[in-house]
Amino acid sequence: MSSVTPTQPRAKRFALASARVVLLLLRARAILVLLLLLFLFSALVPEFLTANNLSILTKHVAIAALLAVGMTFVVLTGGIDLSVGSIAGLGGMVAGYLLTQGVSFGGATHYPPVAIVVLLTICACLLVGALNGWLVAKAGVAPFIATLGTLYIARGAALLISNGKTFPNLGGAESRGNAGFPAFGQSFLWHVPTPVWMMVALFAVAWVVATKTPFGRHVYAIGGNERAARLAGIRVAQVKITTYVFSAFCAALVGLIIAAQLEAAHPATGESFELNAIAAVVLGGTSLMGGRGSVTGSLIGAFVIGVLADGLVMLGVSEFWQIVIKGVVIVLAVGLDQLQTRLQARILPYLTTASIEEGHS
Amino acid sequence: MSQVNEPAAEVILEARNITKRYPGNVALDGVTFRVYRGQVNVLIGENGAGKSTLVRILAGAEMADEGALFLEGRPLALHTPRDAAANGISIVYQELLALTNLKISENIFAGREICHAALFVDQAAQNQRSAAALRHLRKPMDVATETGRLSLGCRQVVEIARALDQGSRILILDEPTSALSVSEAESLFEVIADLKRAGVTIIYISHRLHELLHLGDRFTVLRSGRVVGESTRATATRAWIVERMSGRKEGANDASTAISPARPAVLTVSGLTLPGSIGDEAAQAALHDVSFDLFEGEILGVYGLLGAGRSELVEALAGLRPIASGAVAIRGQNVRTGSVRDALRAGMVLMPEDRQRDGLFPELSIRENVVMAAKTGPILLRDEETKRVRKLAAELHIAAKDIELPVTTLSGGNQQKVLLARCLMCSPSVLLMDEPTRGVDVGAKAEIHGILRKLAAKGLSIVFTSSEIEETQALAARVLVLCQGRISAEFSRAQLSDEGLFTAASPSVAAAANPATARPAGGPA
């Protein structure tokens, strides 16, 4: 690309500046949409911006955000994880079973303490994640099919655990030494619900992993060009398996939080959650082809979906319209993504020829 | 500037005063390009000179901002590639566009299927015509083969067959031989001669000068979006072309490296044999009992025709292919083979042949592309990376305005240098390169050759494969010739000749030759 002689420096600088602004706006569109929604709902619904409502809102968002953050890594490698909703349901049922039915051996029933329950639940979910990863990375099954299979497997397993019934009263009992489980979903720390803290912590870890570690870079590389990644010495299978296991871990947290909030475990919990998570990831600008996107975007995407849902409820919009609106927002988001890609392709040559001369480095 | 005034020449297609602007860049600046009927019209220029833009406009893939096209004197408006095809203009692109999931015949008829009753695809007719087109190209293939299983060279042939079958009067070939071996290129040249005799007009783009001079009837040189020279076959010379396209005289850069025999062997390959893949015509070439030494600071060329096992050799060393038997040793130490990580640990790194497919991460920045294979700690150090990449970019003359821009903003030659930088970041003791300058313009090619010589002078050992005699001669201090998976000859620099290389690489001749005499006691062993 030959550089342009600066015949019209002022016009050029202006064009360059406006090009940058347009790109910046497009890149930041998720957060712009979020701010717009917040503005809109706080104007239309007086009680929207109250501390109480925001606390409820973020609690709702936390569920979707946890799944979306886990999903982001999978999608960045070019995969998809349809099983997260089922894994969350399975996790809740495992916890519910251990808390209410206990484990019988030696003729007596033992009730494991809450910490052990949580640990075993997470382990059970990670197993499903590992199965996903193995199917995709080792057995070469297409991610959509592999995780569609485990979606059914995990859901079926959740139903089998209780024979389709709900485990009520997960509060446990001091006498059995397993009280305190509901705190997982209901407690507060500095006036902020525990699930929100979990979301914050998980996001922080995921952000660091995605942007600051070799693993994160390898995830992007695999999604961008798997053959090149292999040739660069990246352990493709290992990285992929890890992303599915991490996604399952996030799903396990969601299962535990919901069971703890309701103090009950229902085998149908988490149905269609995977779609919300995928929607959040896409809204956040992550490409379903892999290689492009960010954890931050997914978090913002989860907020957009959460704010939209709660705001529409508060406005009294019918549930059916809510579904339609959600769909429209997702389609618009993907349309804008295409627009960004095209504009970027047209603007980039401009930036290539100009950025250094502008003293930008 | 123009001495094109032969009376017999008739202009069939003319692009008059074409200007095409991209943001911040004028790709074509008032270019007038005349295409003469029944001749090979050569378009030459370095990457970024505007050749591809010009032919894309001629093929209807892009529209000019200013200027007009004239076909046989009548104004011609092309809005889509279909318009161009309807007017008898078709193009075979440099980047292979084959639909790899479809069969050869389906590729040849993609988008213009022959149908029964306008509904059902007439597979038999398509197969028959595809087979005929391929026969015409002297490259018969089983038209039911999935295109993805073909080598790059064969895919190129399929694309040319597609263009031929459309009955084009004007055929644009954008670097058709960049993926072809010498023998395939030769057969392509014969086809071009046939087409010429049949009255087809060819527009031909290539970086290979000997090829252009051999084929071309008319020469148009582009530089920075302008026509800087026009000539006919009678007056065009190699020096003229190079000088016009680069704006500088061609330098004799043959300060090559004879290795002193005292150097130790860095890489020792003994008895390397690869399993043949079954039923895959394109990739059946395995290696049989390949043994050689590579010495410190040596540039070893591996020459061979398509399918001789060149790529297979370097890919096996890089850990991309399992080996059936044989041993690989680095500085006398046997190393594990069969995984890329093992090869990297042993100090062998491969720069792949197809940079789009196997090399680049298109979404990532130049910096990230360079550092991808490097060793890192548990946390990435951005400043450290930036410093190292800047330094390498300066050393390799990567013309990047900003290393944070996507790697796809670079020209082909610079992308190639990004991959070279990635390899160097691994501090290899053996650099393996599969076609080090494929799809790179003459200027960048010479530059990359210069860089490689400098690296070798600093003690890096390099193995490169090439299907170009020109490149092999320019770069190698010693050459191994592969023929059907075996080493058929070895030449030291002094013994190199076009004739010798070609003879040793051709199957029939090599089989007849006595191995004892076919392998002169060259090399520093």
Over residues A40-49, the mean pLDDT reads 87
Over residues B204-215, the mean pLDDT reads 80
State whether A326 and A312 are in the same domain: no
Q: Under a CB-based contact definition with an 8 Å cutoff, are residues B330 and B267 in contact?
A: yes
Higher model confidence: residue A17 or residue A215?
A: A215
Asked if the C-beta of B224 comes within 8 angstroms of chain A's C-beta atoms, the answer is yes
Conformation bin of residue B463: beta by default, left when phi > 0, alpha when psi is -120 to 50: beta
State whether A341 and A195 are in the same domain: no
Please provide the distance, in angstroms rounded to a whole number, between the alpha carbons at the two ends of chain B: 54
Over residues A164-184, the mean pLDDT reads 80
Report all structural domains of chain B as residue ranges with CATH numbers, in order of start.
11-246 (3.40.50.300), 265-518 (3.40.50.300)
- pLDDT tens, residue by residue, A84-120: 999 999 999 999 998 888 888 877 788 888 888 899 9
H/E element, B62: none
Q: Report the distance separating Cα B36 and Cα B170, nearest Å.
A: 10
A244 in a domain, yes or no?
yes
Looking at the partner chain, which of A212, A231, A354 has a beta carbon nearest the beta carbon of B358?
A231
Looking at the partner chain, which of A217, A228, A361 has a beta carbon nearest the beta carbon of B358?
A228
List Cα–Cα distances, A263 to A99, A125, A130, A256, B65, in angstroms: 11, 20, 28, 10, 68
Using pLDDT thresholds of 50, 70 and 90, give the confidence band for residue A62.
very high
Asked if the C-beta of A160 comes within 8 angstroms of chain B's C-beta atoms, the answer is no
HEC sequence for chain A: CCCCCCCCHHHHHHHHHHHHHHHHHHHCHHHHHHHHHHHHHHHHCHHHHCHHHHHHHHHHHHHHHHHHHHHHHHHHCCCCCCCHHHHHHHHHHHHHHHHHCCEEECCEEECCCHHHHHHHHHHHHHHHHHHHHHHHHHCCCCHHHHHHHHHHHHHHHHHHHHCCCCECCCCCCHHHCCCCCCHHHHCEECCEEHHHHHHHHHHHHHHHHHHHCHHHHHHHHHHHCHHHHHHCCCCHHHHHHHHHHHHHHHHHHHHHHHHHHHCCECCCCCCCHHHHHHHHHHHCCCCCCCCCCCHHHHHHHHHHHHHHHHHHHHHCCCHHHHHHHHHHHHHHHHHHHHHHHHHHHHHHHHHHHHCCCCCCC
A360 in a domain, yes or no?
no
Instruction: Answer whether A214 sits within 8 Å of B376, measured CB to CB.
Output: yes
Q: What are the chain A neighbours of B379 within 8 Å (beta carbons)? A: 212-213
Q: What are the chain A neighbours of B24 within 8 Å (beta carbons)? A: 4, 12, 349-354
- pLDDT tens, residue by residue, A133-173: 999 999 989 999 999 999 999 999 999 998 888 888 877 77
Over residues B433-457, the mean pLDDT reads 85
| pLDDT score at B507 | 64
- pLDDT tens, residue by residue, A254-282: 999 999 998 888 999 988 899 989 999 99
- pLDDT tens, residue by residue, B272-330: 888 865 444 444 457 888 999 999 989 999 988 766 788 889 999 999 888 888 899 99
CA-nearest of B405, B410, B371 to B387 is B371
State whether A149 and A298 are in the same domain: yes
CA-nearest of A124, A145, A127 to A81 is A145
Q: Give per-residue burial for B326-341: e unless 16+ CB within 10 Å, then b.
A: bebbbeeeebebebbe
Looking at the partner chain, which of B341, B380, B402 has a beta carbon nearest the beta carbon of A212?
B380
Instruction: Answer whether B409 sits within 8 Å of A232, measured CB to CB.
Output: no
Q: What are the chain A neighbours of B22 within 8 Å (beta carbons)? A: 346, 349
Is the torsion defined by CA of A137, A141, A143, A148 positive or negative? Answer: negative
State whether A217 and A348 are in the same domain: no
Interface mutation vs chain A, best among B363, B369, B410, B423, most A CBs within 10 Å: B363
State whether A345 and A256 are in the same domain: no
A175 in a domain, yes or no?
yes
Asked if the C-beta of A336 comes within 8 angstroms of chain B's C-beta atoms, the answer is no
| pLDDT score at A127 | 95
Instruction: Answer whether A355 sits within 8 Å of B23, measured CB to CB.
Output: no
State whether A250 and A336 are in the same domain: no
Q: Report the distance separating Cα A332 and Cα B158, nearest Å.
A: 40
State whether A199 and A331 are in the same domain: no
State whether A308 and A344 are in the same domain: no
A38 in a domain, yes or no?
no
pLDDT at B511 over 70: no
Could you give phi then psi for residue B226, rounded to 5 degrees?
Answer: -125, 150
Mean residue pLDDT of chain B comes to 80
**Maximum distance among all Cα pairs of chain B, rounded to whole angstroms:** 76
3-state secondary structure of B493: helix
Asked if the C-beta of B336 comes within 8 angstroms of chain A's C-beta atoms, the answer is no
Contact residues for A224 (Cβ-Cβ < 8 A; gap 6+)? A290, A291, A292, B361, B362, B363, B364
pLDDT at B95 over 70: no
Instruction: Answer whether A291 sits within 8 Å of B422, measured CB to CB.
Output: no
Specify the pairing of strand B11-22 against strand B66-71: antiparallel
State whether A305 and A329 are in the same domain: no
List the beta bridge partners of residue B231: B219
Reported pTM: 0.74
Q: What are the chain A neighbours of B364 within 8 Å (beta carbons)? A: 220-221, 224, 291
State whether A133 and A242 are in the same domain: yes
| pLDDT score at B2 | 45
Instruction: Answer whether B24 sits within 8 Å of A291, measured CB to CB.
Output: no
A77 in a domain, yes or no?
yes
| pLDDT score at B444 | 81
State whether A252 and A341 are in the same domain: no
A190 in a domain, yes or no?
yes
3-state secondary structure of B196: helix
Looking at the partner chain, which of B25, B340, B401 has a beta carbon nearest the beta carbon of A231?
B340
Looking at the partner chain, which of A2, A227, A287 has a beta carbon nearest the beta carbon of B357?
A227
Q: Report the distance separating Cα B140 and Cα A99, nearest Å.
A: 71
Asked if the C-beta of A20 comes within 8 angstroms of chain B's C-beta atoms, the answer is no
| Domain boundaries, position A179 | 43-316
Using pLDDT thresholds of 50, 70 and 90, give the confidence band for residue B7.
very low
CA-nearest of A273, A303, A309 to A71 is A273
Minimum distance, in Å, between the CA of residue A165 and any CA atom of chain B: 46
Taking residue B284's Cβ as centre, other Cβ atoms within 10 Å add up to 14
A15 in a domain, yes or no?
no
Q: What is the CATH number of the domain that holds A294?
A: 1.10.3470
CA-nearest of B188, B466, B70, B189 to B301 is B466
State whether A311 and A262 are in the same domain: yes
| pLDDT score at A14 | 76
CA-nearest of A225, A209, A205 to A217 is A209
Number of domains comprising chain A: 2
**Maximum distance among all Cα pairs of chain A, rounded to whole angstroms:** 91
Using pLDDT thresholds of 50, 70 and 90, give the confidence band for residue A285.
confident
Q: What are the chain A neighbours of B341 within 8 Å (beta carbons)? A: 233, 235
A37 in a domain, yes or no?
no
| pLDDT score at B514 | 41
Torsion of CA A24, A30, A35, A38, to 10 degrees: 170
Using pLDDT thresholds of 50, 70 and 90, give the confidence band for residue B162.
confident
Minimum distance, in Å, between the CA of residue A170 and any CA atom of chain B: 40
Higher model confidence: residue B44 or residue B207?
A: B44
| pLDDT score at A110 | 80
Minimum distance, in Å, between the CA of residue B333 and any CA atom of chain A: 21
Distance of CA B42 to the CA centre of its chain: 18
| pLDDT score at A297 | 92
Over residues B203-220, the mean pLDDT reads 83
Q: What are the chain A neighbours of B402 within 8 Å (beta carbons)? A: 351-352, 355-356, 360-361
**Which ipTM value was assigned to this complex?**
0.78
Asked if the C-beta of B341 comes within 8 angstroms of chain A's C-beta atoms, the answer is yes
Using pLDDT thresholds of 50, 70 and 90, give the confidence band for residue B209.
confident
pLDDT at B518 over 50: no
